[in-house]
């Protein structure tokens, strides 16, 4: 049985943590709208890594180039490229579609719905949408968090990440996805 899941939630809610468990324990293939942005960022800024551990995303890079010191955080660099959506609103949706066309897998999980067109695309393409909430997130809120909160009323499921392990993820998978309630 094919299973398509897509997660939304504020920064630091635990979306990547949940997706990592789904990949490891349930054989999902992870894709992401923001990975499309990160691919572009690495092409534009070859000194930038493709991704960083969660704690490093908020720390200044402090990379010395020939005539310049880069002090932005990785997240600030990625968010600065978000203006590309002003040229083509569905740019990252289009890029993700192109990536998915190359995959031949049954279980796909998207880790980061952040805009209305991403949400609409997920709904149109049969993804079960899940909102993740974490009351104790230490992360600074960003411009996408307001929209993520508004999505909570539209998603099929809500998960609360209490930061007490993985049991809530396995419970969700067993009761909502595996038993055919998707």
Per residue in 123-164, pLDDT (tens digit) is 999 999 999 988 776 666 666 677 777 887 888 898 888 877
Distances (CA, A) of 170 to 19, 93, 115, 165, 178: 12, 29, 27, 10, 10
Domain 3-178 belongs to what architecture?
3-Layer(aba) Sandwich (3.40)
Domain locations along the chain: 3-178
> What are the mean pLDDT values of the chain's consecutive 10-residue runs (182 residues total)?
89 89 96 92 94 88 95 92 91 95 94 92 95 75 71 85 85 80 50
**How confident is the model at residue 60, as a pLDDT?**
96
Sequence-ordered strand ranges (E) for 107-162: 107-110, 128-133, 157-160
pLDDT computed for residue 79 by the predictor: 86
CA-to-CA distance for 152 and 182, rounded, in angstroms? 17
The predicted pLDDT at position 143 comes to 62
pLDDT for the residue 139: 60
Per-residue model confidence (pLDDT) at position 140: 64
Q: Which residue has the tokens 């040229």?
A: 87
Beta carbons within 10 angstroms of residue 48's beta carbon: 19
Which residues does 5 contact at the CB level (< 8 Å), separation at least 6? 22, 28, 108, 109, 110, 127, 128, 129, 130, 177
């Amino acid at each position: 049985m094919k299973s398509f899941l897509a997660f939304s939630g504020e920064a630091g809610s635990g979306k990547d943590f949940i997706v990592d468990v789904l990949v490891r324990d349930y054989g999902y293939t992870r894709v992401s709208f923001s990975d499309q942005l990160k691919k572009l960022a690495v092409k534009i800024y070859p000194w930038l890594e493709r991704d960083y551990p969660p704690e490093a995303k908020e720390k200044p890079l402090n990379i010395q180039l020939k005539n310049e010191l880069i002090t932005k955080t990785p997240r600030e660099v990625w968010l600065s490229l978000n203006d590309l959506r002003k040229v083509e609103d569905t740019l990252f949706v289009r890029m993700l579609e192109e990536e998915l066309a190359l995959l031949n897998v049954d279980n796909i999980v998207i880790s980061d719905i952040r805009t209305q067109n991403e949400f609409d695309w997920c709904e149109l393409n049969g993804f079960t949408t899940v909102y993740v909430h974490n009351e104790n997130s230490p992360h600074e809120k960003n411009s996408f968090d307001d929209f993520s909160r508004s999505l909570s009323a539209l998603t099929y499921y809500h998960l609360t990440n209490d930061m007490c392990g993985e049991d809530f993820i396995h419970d969700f998978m067993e009761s909502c996805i595996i038993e055919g309630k998707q």
